[in-house]
Structure 1
């Protein structure tokens, strides 16, 4: 009996890019199945609280423009310069750590992915506690990111974030606009 090949998910990240590098990153995170979860004010407040708590939890981050939409979140995250020694993995007694188990997904500490993973996890835990639905997905798998390369690009993204609520009726993430 032959089994069909396991389909590998294609990464949407820039191949070879180090997402621990200092700089600005524009991220979009969508709710599971694009549900209008954040139409509910108390869930929207959870997202706000967790976003702003992230800066105190993760000193390598600086947060910029941010908005919670009914079924997605946009934000700009800055990864700031850190001491290179802090970025090197260290095991017991200062020795190199044991190799990672290949079955576990690896997220580089102090990276954009580590921030998004922690943010999504914290929001999920709190939202599910409020609605008494443990284990229910809040977010779609993965997230969208854009490395911000110029001041003009940064300012355009900031304006996009500010304008986004006003333009919700035309937004491609608005279920009313889906075919």
Structure 2
């Protein structure tokens, strides 16, 4: 399998000008390189994960531990791809915060702000790439790829890119959830099924 970017030249499939770090729900599909069925099989319209599929499942569920702004919704691991909903939310407060037990409330100094003329709050800087849907997917793919290379001696686990859909409203969210849940039952007609391609 060879899914390196040198052999797969294509333009970006992302929405031009869209900020993929903003709050919202994203439906993503990530496919294996050459649509290889690495994660298990469908039988009786149910997905049965193999060892690699179980690793993918574990790494998927660990996403919120590595990306505090990410929440997971419905997802399904298929033989050669994963569908999932990732919600990005604004993180408020200090990350990795622990209380200061060395000081009491009486020892805190509050400066006198009387007469402060040019005081204005600092403006938040633009989101960095570490909070985008792309960086979340990249981190997930890297973790799985490392395991696959060690355990299965396969160089490229994933195709170069991934597909995403910005979920627009509750009706859209409901449709996407139903699609994900029904995906194993529709494997025979799935465009990612190698027997159908």
Does residue 76 of the first structure (1) align with residue 97 of the second (2)?
no
In structure 1, how many angstroms separate the alpha carbons of the residues matched to 2:22 and 2:188? 36
Cα gap change, 1:146 to 1:125, in 2 (>3 Å): same
Which structure 2 residues correspond to residues 130-145 of structure 1 after superposition, within 5 A?
130-131=151-152, 133=153, 136-145=155-164
RMSD, matched Cα: 1.9
Displacement of 1:82: 3.0
Q: 2:53 aligns with which of 37, 41, 44?
A: 44
Equivalent residue for 1:24? 25
In structure 1, how many angstroms separate the alpha carbons of the residues matched to 2:126 and 2:59? 24
**Contact 1:46–1:127 (CA under 8 A) maintained in structure 2:** no
Displacement of 1:130: 1.4
Question: What TM-score results when the alignment is normalised by the length of structure 2?
Answer: 0.73
In structure 2, how many angstroms separate the alpha carbons of the residues matched to 1:9 and 1:174? 22
Does residue 129 of the first structure (1) align with residue 129 of the second (2)?
no
Equivalent residue for 2:46? none
Displacement of 1:166: 1.1
Rg (Cα) greater in structure: 2
Displacement of 1:67: 0.5
Q: List runs of 5+ in structure 2 lacking aligned partners.
A: 1-7, 41-48, 93-122
Question: What TM-score results when the alignment is normalised by the length of structure 1?
Answer: 0.80
Does residue 66 of the first structure (1) align with residue 75 of the second (2)?
yes
Which structure 2 residues correspond to residues 151-162 of structure 1 after superposition, within 5 A?
151-162=170-181
> What is the number of equivalent residue pairs in this alignment?
152
Which structure 2 residues correspond to residues 155-174 of structure 1 after superposition, within 5 A?
155-174=174-193
